[in-house]
Structure formats: structure tokens, C-alpha cells
Amino acid sequence: MSEWLLSGHNTQESFDISRPIIRTMGEATLDDQITWFVGQLVGDPGVLDSTLKPSAFVQSRCYLNIAYFVRNMGTVLPFDPASVGVTAEQIPLDWKPPSLSGPQRLTLPLRFLRTYRWAAHFYRTRLPALRDTLLEIYWQLHTSPDDPLPLVWRLFEADLYAEAEDNARAHIVISLTITALDSVLRQRAPELLPLFAGQATATSLMGQRIWELRQAVEQCSPRVRQMLEEGIADLEAYRALPEAAPLVAGIQAFLHQYGHRGFRFEVDWASERLADRPEHILLAVAGQLREEQSPQARAEAARRQADEALRRMNPLSRALWRRILRWGQQLISWREDSKSLAALRQAAYGLAARRLARHFYPDQPDDILMFYTLEEFLAFVRSRGQQRVAMEILERRRAEYELHRNQPPPPELIWYNPETGYWRPAVEEKGEVAAPAPTRFQGIPASPGDGPVEGIALVTNDPLEAGRRLLQMEGPVILVTRLTDPAWSGLFGRLSGVVTELGGVISHAAIVARENGLPAVVGVPEVTRHIRNGQRLRIDGRAGVVEVLQ
């Protein structure tokens, strides 16, 4: 085929405009690991379309290649294009997955089981030790040691690097399995969707820890609570108060455990981390001071409705779905564990690259090594800084990066010619014609919560701004934003619903909304442009509908 249909709905949650190190690392990870997984399941890669690959970067932005997922992954797993913001009508009729032979179909479950067991073994036996090692190196690098080079060399030792690559592989196996299960659940038993959420995952625990920090405030003096309610978010101001010791100790423990999570775009080595912005944690705690019900209690209320639907099924169906849901809950927990570990890896690599730059390129910006490709960077590290890229090449790449930063971004859905690099919008842009703003929006139903809710719109793409404004808002609040990431997790306990422009059924907003018992609608095009702050909204997370009431 001459053109690929590319979607950025899911990838732009993790990727910003990428420097060469992230572009080449991201493309290699997505292409190698997804291709490996599909190849393991199909048995004979010769039946697949070898001209396709899973991802592409356009103007330094990451996209998924829908042609690959329909034609190749669709051979072995269910693929719902709506999960990546694509309608069935946008898929060409001739994009049919090739048929497997009878023996291939018969042995497919065995091949999947073998691959799944490999991933499950990694999560159970190898991930904890890898997490502990990377966490130790990250915090040692974070304290700016006098001689960081031994830590950097250790970080990129072949065995440790390979172990981190296996985390990426296990993450792909579990993520694609979750996507397939989600598609089956939506088609066969959508009323059970609130139960398709992890229990005490690496992401949901962030929100739980925020609630515990809120409780720590009760051990402090009234002055500490007053400072939080006034929006004072300077951690040093609290450190100076002896009566704030329980809160400060709790925040330090929180940052040690979750400080590596990205403030935005977790896979980017240059992204700020929560450890760099502790004010966000203070604002999240302040936002929950007036809440009487914990996020866990609210989530339990949503699960009770789904449990009732499960009990109404016949005994055989009920037993089958209980088994599937227990499995799905374990998969989601594992996925969030590996996602947190991947963020830790990227945070550590980013710190290492800056420490190396200050040592080997003292007169250059400290992101200079991020303009190496992944292969070049690994060669630089393993030669102990001797194998370098010419400065004129690095300067040319920086100029291209700056050009892409200043260009209007391509749409989230585009047609792309891999031979020429030419792209065009997949949806025709409408001319500037004066028209009333829409009052009803259709998106992807991500979480039904406890049913449809009404609330006041909070429209922002900045979690810090959201945290400050929530302190001034009363009553139910519905967040309307482009996307969410772990920096938003602590705010979900104060929200009544979530609407995002980007994301799919296993995006951050979808997963955390389910874990908090909130209705959520994701993948709503241009919703932040049409909805204004203060408007009253109604969202139905089961139907994927957002309505402006006033």
C-alpha cells in the first residue's frame, strides 16, 4: 500500500516533539517489541505484510500505524480501531488481515500461552529487582554526586540494559492483550467495564498516597492546613515549620517512591519529574482537604453496580466472566508496574545524559547528548565518551528539532507516505465558517463510573493550574483537558468526571478514572476548544457522550 493511516491519539500521552535519542529509541522499542509479539503468535511471519511497521515519527511526533494493527496484529488478536481514535469507516475495505492455515489457528492459543507465561514470569520474578536497582541509581544520580561516571557506566552495563529492554517487551505483551480483552468486554458485557481495572496498581496507589497525605495533615497544626488551603505550595515553607513534620515526611516518602514519574511525556529523557516539582503534590493534597469520601470508597460504589450486573448472569456466564475479570485485573496491575518502571528508566537515562554532557561537553547545553541517536549514544557510553558524533551533525539535528517545535503540528490522524514522508490530514479540515459551538460531543467511552454525572467544567492542560483552581471551586468538577499523565493522578480524587481530547481505552485517563470510580470520555476531538471554563456539563462514560447544559 502506498499510504499508511497514522494515529497519534495514544502515543501523544507519552511522546512530545522528540529529540533524536527519543525518536530512535521509541521507534525501535515499538517496532521491535510489537513485531516480536505478533511474530510469536502467528508462528510463521511469512503470512504477515512485511512492508508495514507498527510506528512512524512525523515532524518528530510519534504515531501508530493503523495499517499494521489491522492487517498484521488483526491476524492473531482482536483490534478495535476506536481504541486509537479511528472509526471503522476510515479503514479501507481492502485492509483485511491474512488468513491463518488450520494448523496455525489450532496452535495459536499455545503460542499465546507460551508468550504470556514468559511475560508473567518477568513480572513475578525479575521486575522487582530491576526496579530496586534503577531506583537506587536514579536517586544517587539525582543528588548530583561529585563523580557520576561510575553510576552512569553501571546504568548502561549490557546486562542491566537488556533487562530494561525485557521490561519494554513484557509491557507490549500485556498492553496488547489488555486492548484485546477490553474490545471483547465492550462488545459482550459492557456493563462489567468498571470491574476491568487494576487493584492497587502503581498508578492508583499514587492517588491513595495523596489521600494518606491528606490524613497526615490532620496530625499537623491548624496553621499547616490553612497554608495548604491558601495554595502555598513551596515545600521549603513547610520544612521550616516543626509542626508540619508529619506532612513533610510523607511527601518525602511519596517523592522517593514516585518522584521519577513524568510531569509530562514520561518517555522523554528531558521531561520534568515529580521530584523536580513537589509543589504539585502539595496542591493535590490541598485539593482533597474538603473531600469526605476517599477515592477507594467512590470506586467501590461504581464496582457494586457492575457486581450486581454480574450476579444477574446465569451461573456459567458468571463464572467465565469472573475468571476473565480477575485475569484482566492482574494484567492491568502488571501493565502499570512496567509503565512506572519504564518511566524510572527514562528518568535515570535522562539524568545520566545530562551528567555526561556536563563532563564531556562542558561548553554545550546539557541536552547535547539527546541529539545522538540511540545507537550513537550507546556507542558513546560503551567507549567511555571516546566515540562521538561530529558537532555539525548535532547542530543540524538541533535546528531540525527547533523547526518542528515551531511548526504547526500535524493532526492526530493523518495519511502518510513512508517513501516520500509526505502526509495529509485524514479528516478534511473545515473552513473558517462562523457556526454555533456544538453542545454535544461523542468520544470513546472509557469508564462508566457510578453513572452519568453533571458538574462545572475545568478546562486546562496544566496540572499545576488545575490544582490551584480546584482550591477555589465548589461542588462537582469535570476536568476537560487534552490528555492526562501521572502528574494528574493526585487530582482525580477531587474530580467528578474526566474528558480528554486524546487517549484510548487503556490511556492514563481511562485507567485512573476506572480505579477512582469516575465516569470518563476520551478521544473527543477539539473538546478543549469548544468547551469553556465554568460551563455546566453532563458526561455519560458508558455511552461516551459529553453534553453542554449551560
Q: Which amino acid is at 381?
A: V
Domains along the sequence of the chain with CATH: 4-188+320-404 (no CATH), 440-548 (3.50.30.10)
Confidence of residue 19 (pLDDT cuts 50, 70, 90): very high
List pLDDT tens digits, range 457-482: 999 999 889 989 998 898 999 999 99
DSSP states along 217-244: HTTS-HHHHHHHHTT---HHHHHT-GGG
Confidence of residue 303 (pLDDT cuts 50, 70, 90): confident
Three cell numbers written together for 107: 496452535
List pLDDT tens digits, range 359-383: 999 999 999 999 999 999 999 999 9
Q: What is the pLDDT of residue 91?
A: 92
CA distance 55 to 58: 10
Evaluate if residue 223 carries a pLDDT over 90: yes
Confidence of residue 486 (pLDDT cuts 50, 70, 90): confident
List pLDDT tens digits, range 59-80: 999 999 999 999 999 999 888 8
Query: In the block, which residue shows the cell 522517593?
Result: 256
Q: What is the pLDDT of residue 353?
A: 97
Query: In the block, which residue shows the cell 507516505?
Result: 417
Cβ atoms of 478 and 549 closer than 8 Å: no
Q: What is the pLDDT of residue 264?
A: 77
Q: What is the pLDDT of residue 431?
A: 54
Evaluate if residue 298 carries a pLDDT over 80: no
Among the residue ranges 218-222, 309-313, 426-430, the one predicted with the least confidence is: 426-430
For 101, the 3-state DSSP assignment is: coil
What average pLDDT does the segment 232-257 reach?
Answer: 94
Q: What is the pLDDT of residue 199?
A: 67
Comparison of pLDDT for 85 and 510, the residue scoring more: 510
Q: What is the pLDDT of residue 502?
A: 84
DSSP states along 11-68: GGGT--SPPHHHHHHHHHHHHHHHHHHHHHHHS-GGGS-TT--SEEEETTEEEEEHHH
Evaluate if residue 432 carries a pLDDT over 60: no
* Mean pLDDT for all residues in the chain: 90
Q: What is the pLDDT of residue 430?
A: 57
Evaluate if residue 434 carries a pLDDT over 70: no
User: What pairs with residue 444 in β-bridges?
Assistant: 522
For the whole model, what pTM was predicted?
A: 0.90
Q: What is the pLDDT of residue 308?
A: 85
Query: In the block, which residue shows the cell 467501590?
Result: 300
